Amino acid sequence: MLKIDGLSVSYGSRRVLHNVSLEVNSGEVVALIGPNGAGKSTLVRAASGVIPVENGSMRTNGSDLLSLPPMMRARHLAVVPQAASMPPAFTVWETVLLGRTPYLNFLGQVSSKDEEIARRALSRVDALDLSERRVGELSGGEQQRVLLARALAQSTPILLMDEPTAHLDLQHQVALMVMAQELAHNDHLAVLVALHDLNLAARYADRLALLVSGEVKAQGTARQVLGPETIAAAYGLPVEVIPHPFAEDVPLVLPSGRPTGHS
């Protein structure tokens, strides 16, 4: 599990995350939602140690993630970044095998166990047949699966995903979210997904956290978080929330007017 407590981050004098507290338990998917610039990506970057944290703590089963060296941190927590950021000349196999980096010496010598783990990660995302292909030749959906496989090869109990559905079509969006769900429910990972699509979040996440201007404004089940007033205020857009026609307890958020101004 991942326990973020009172996390604050600033870019220069501008504070972009303010006292953020958030828990992601093993076996659950938590969706991080919020308007552009709310700090979703910043939270992912801060949590993975890429940018320095001003205040607060991040713990997992007793160890303090922020004070760990990168290699040790990468054994606890893996990140699936936004798409289209992979060196195109590597093959899929080379890319996924590099997910084993936190366990390798500086020469990067892999054992047959590392190869076995990489192979399992690839087959987990249904991409074993892509092994020999170059990353640059893949479609957006395939690239996203490769990034997920690389993160899985890190064998971490915590998985952070930064808007993994951003460039995907409907089928691939759903496929990716179903996979995130399986990873949490079957493999007991703690999965935190930053998402733009509120309905995808409502349908596939176990809990939601709403981030607005760097602060957590609401967290809980989809029904608790996706109230019409809360969402309207957060996004500056009047919305209608109706029950999902096929899924129980899942609200559906529909825009119902023009934006009310910049939020």
Partner 1 sequence: MRRLSPYLSSFCILLFAILLSIAVGTVFIPPADLWRVLTGQPPQTVEQAAVIVLTLRLPRTALVLLTGAALGASGAAYQGVFRNPLADPYLIGAASGAGLGAVLAMSVQWPYTTAGLLAVPAAAFIGALAAVFLVYLLGRVGKTVPTTNLILAGVAFSAFASALTSYLMLRSTGELRRAIAWLLGGSAQAGWEPVLAVLPFLVLGLVGLLLSGHTLNVLQFGDDQASQMGLPVARARTLILLAASLATASAVAFSGIIGFIGLIVPHLMRLWFGADYRRLLSLSLVGGAAALLLADVLARLVMAPQELPVGIVTALAGAPFFLWALRRAKNQGYW
Q: What angle is formed at CA 95 by the lines to CA 53 and CA 177, rounded to 5 degrees?
A: 70
CB 152 within 8 A of CB 125: yes
Find the shortest distance in angstroms from Cβ 100 to partner 1: 9
When the beta carbons of 16 and 79 are compared against partner 1, the nearer one is 79
Residue 143 half-sphere exposure toward CB, CA atoms < 13 A: 22
Minimum CB distance to partner 1 smaller for 37 or for 238 = 37
d(CA 239, CA 63): 42
- Shortest distance in whole angstroms from residue 208 CB to partner 1: 24
Query: Smallest distance from the beta carbon of 49 to partner 1, in angstroms?
Result: 6
Q: List the beta bridge partners of residue 57.
A: 5
Give 74 or 212: the residue with its C-beta nearer to partner 1. 74
Q: Which is nearer to partner 1, 153 or 200 (CB)?
A: 153
Q: How many CA atoms lie within 13 A of 125 on its CB side?
A: 28
Using DSSP bridges, classify how beta strands 158-162 and 190-194 pair: parallel, antiparallel or unpaired.
parallel
Please give the residue ranges that form the binding site for partner 1 (CB under 8 A).
Answer: 45, 48-50, 69-75, 78-79, 81, 85-91, 94, 98-99, 101-102, 104, 106-108, 136, 150, 154
- Smallest distance, partner 1 to C-beta of residue 81, A: 6
Rg of the chain over CA atoms, in angstroms?
19
Q: In the bound complex, what is the minimum distance in angstroms from residue 96's beta carbon to partner 1?
A: 11
CB 16 within 8 Å of CB 37: no
| Beta strands 239-243; 251-255: pairing state | antiparallel
Q: Give min distance, CB of 154 to partner 1, in A.
A: 7
Please identify, using beta-carbon distances, which residue of 1 and 98 lies nearer to partner 1: 98
Quick one: how far is CA 214 from the chain centroid? 17
**Structure token pair of residue 225:** 């978080």
**Cβ proximity to partner 1, 31 vs 79, nearer residue:** 79
In this complex, which beta carbon is closest to partner 1, that of residue 154 or of residue 181? Answer: 154
- Least separation, in Å, of the C-beta of 164 and partner 1? 14
CA distances from 210 to 35, 38, 45, 106, 188 (A): 9, 9, 17, 40, 23
